[in-house]
Homo-oligomer: A and B are copies of this chain.
Amino acid sequence: MENAVANPQTATVITPTELLEHWQGHRSLTRRVIEAFPEKELFEYSIGGMRPFAAMAQELLAIAAPGMKQVASGQVEELNEEIKEATTKERILALWDQSTEEINKYWAQVPEERFRERILTFGKYDNVVWCTILYFIDNEIHHRAQGYVYLRSLGIEPPAFWER
């Protein structure tokens, strides 16, 4: 990346508010992917020894609001991917909506300069805050796309990728 380094660009590309909207747009699509699964397949269907999509959704729930809580408060949160109450599609969707509100709430508490500070998310992952949040988003896109393959192989048309 020689060219880029030779000519460092420092202007604003994305503001915090835009990054939140980008994430919530993705989260709205992921919600529709969860909805597209039949109840049984959400918890049981898998390909190549991978986890069922419900387990991936639980991971995403475990990361999103608790991760943003740590960004906002500075207090280390625990990563707990076993969400006991996430036992039905309806419950997962309710937890998803609750996370949506929590993310917005914590985001509004984050001072602007915080986005460029380092953080040890869940006491384990050392990175700058904006990189950490992009990682949350990228991880969500990654697992959601795996859900797309599950749906396709079940003969179910997934929601369009570009609709947020």
Query: Mask for A1-33, Cβ within 8 A of B = 1, else 0?
Result: 111111111111111111111101010000000
Q: A7-B108, A9-B16, A24-B1 are in contact. Are A142 and B145 (CB under 8 A)?
A: yes
Chain A positions 111-164 with a Cβ under 8 Å from a chain B Cβ? 112-113, 115-116, 130-131, 134-135, 138-139, 141-146, 148-155, 161-162
Q: How many residues of A contact B (CB 8 A)?
A: 59
User: Which of B20, B47, B113 is the one whose CB lies under 8 Å from A47?
Assistant: B47
> Which chain A residues have a beta carbon within 8 Å of chain B's beta carbons?
1-22, 24, 26, 47-50, 104-105, 107-108, 110, 112-113, 115-116, 130-131, 134-135, 138-139, 141-146, 148-155, 161-162
